[in-house]
Amino acid sequence: MAAESAPAILQWFDGSFDTIEDRTVDIFETGYGAVWLPPPGRADSGNQSVGYDVYDRFELGSPDRPTLYGTETGLKQLGEQFEAAAIDLHIDAILNHAGFSDQGTPGFVDAGGYPGLAITLDNAIDGDFHSGFDTGVLQGRLS
């Protein structure tokens, strides 16, 4: 019996959900087993951001206000198309960043976050977020 590698993962960070969905057959035919997409949530710096300055993880775009990649409906349709083609969908998630916003941003703490996210803690002013003063590979900020 011959050894077999897992199918390759295609990193697709430059296309709308609609474009990627239209290319599902090509993805399947070339043998990719999965597609990896950037964070689809609303970005802090506007609708042209690639998503790594994520601010609202749950706002995935609407028909009247899409993100760079499209809408929530478009992402769901893409997922359904991939499922039908047996292609795995991997979505990057940045859970403890809030774009360029931090404790110094007016209204940041009052705006809250998603359930379970600690904006600030008694023993850590930046809560679940990396401090703007942290550095290094594991503690530094992406934005």
Band the pLDDT of 52: cuts 50, 70, 90.
Answer: confident
Band the pLDDT of 62: cuts 50, 70, 90.
Answer: very high
Per-residue pLDDT at 143: 47
Least confident of 34-43, 55-64, 89-98, 111-120: 111-120
Residue type, 129: F
**Span 86-128, pLDDT tens digits:** 999 999 987 766 677 767 778 777 766 666 677 777 877 777 6
* CB contact at 8 A, 71 and 62: yes
Please give the Cα distance from 6 to 8 (Å, whole number).
6
Contacts 24+ apart (CB under 8 A), 42-47: 42/67, 43/67, 43/68, 43/99, 44/98, 44/99, 44/100, 44/101, 44/143, 45/99, 45/100
